[in-house]
Structure 1
Amino acid sequence: MKTSRAAAFLVALAAPFAIGVATTAHASAQPVANSAITGALSSPQVQYVPASTVSRQNAVESAEAYLSISAFSRQGLIEQLEYEGFSTADAEYAVDHITVDWNEQAAKSAETYLEISSFSRQGLIEQLEYEGFTPAQARYGVTAVGL
């Protein structure tokens, strides 16, 4: 009997360390469960750890807001976020944690350019590449608008 009580005591004592202790609480924290501990206890033990920093979450929100009003290439959006004062790491994190169809963004950007000026196919491809779209994205965008 002493062995099973000792084992139960060690599992209970080690649980906070095996699960991981969050040093800060955050509104968008995500639950993390440790399966090794879960099997030893009658109910799963869940500890909340931050999904990302506040700055990164703000960068994600800003990236989404920019995309709702204008078309951007991946690189162009990163540069815009940096211009707004986000670090390169936070800007890249934001762009990597949103769902974006970069081909669609290239097509929207091509359409916007054609609304304000005339372009040859090659000229518009070069303009989109200058804006940070890849050559394939630029060709897709130009083709999508009929050039």
Structure 2
Amino acid sequence: MMILKVAIIASLLTASTAWAGDLTGPQKNAVRSAEQYLSVQGFSRSGLIRQLSSDYGDGYSRADATTAVDSLNVDWRRQAVRSAKQYLSIQGFSCSGLIRQLSSDAGDGYTQSQATYGAQQTSACQ
């Protein structure tokens, strides 16, 4: 049984490494940009793709930005908590207002579930 578990883990690691090796040059650069953004502040998946592909952001193609973001292992709920706390550090929000801001397409673009989770981890909802 242990050998089977090790074989499964090894195959998963090999698959992810092979997939990462399949990235094009622009996609690898987009991964680096995405990692840099995530090291500074919270981003939703859609917000990070929008930042990477915007003419006012990094200017990667939408396809390259999407591939880059999807190649990362990101906890989007954790990112929503980071974003919620960042908002509260600069201004007050009600719980529902914070959820709306986090989930709005004009705001951060988190899913409703991610936004709700993020807001609920802050003082705005407690």
Q: Does 1:79 align with 2:50?
A: yes
Q: What's the CA shift for 1:52?
A: 1.6
- Unaligned residue ranges in structure 2 (runs of 5+): 1-16
User: Higher helix share goes to which structure?
Assistant: 2
TM superposition score normalised by structure 1 = 0.65
Letter in 2 for 1:67: L
If asked which structure has higher relative contact order (CA below 8 Å, sep 6+), I would say 2
Q: What's the CA shift for 1:111?
A: 0.2
Equivalent position to 1:124, from 98, 108, 118: 98
User: Higher strand share goes to which structure?
Assistant: 1
2:71 counterpart residue number: 97
2:83 counterpart residue number: 109
Give the root-mean-square deviation of aligned CA atoms: 1.3
Alpha-carbon distance in 1 for matches of 2:24, 2:45: 21
Q: What's the CA shift for 1:145?
A: 1.1
The structure with the largest alpha-carbon Rg is 1
- Report the 3-state secondary structure (helix = DSSP H, G, I; strand = E; otherwise coil) of the residue aligned with 1:85: coil
How many residue pairs end up in the alignment?
100
Q: Does 1:139 align with 2:102?
A: no
Letter in 2 for 1:55: P
- Unaligned residue ranges in structure 1 (runs of 5+): 1-29, 32-49
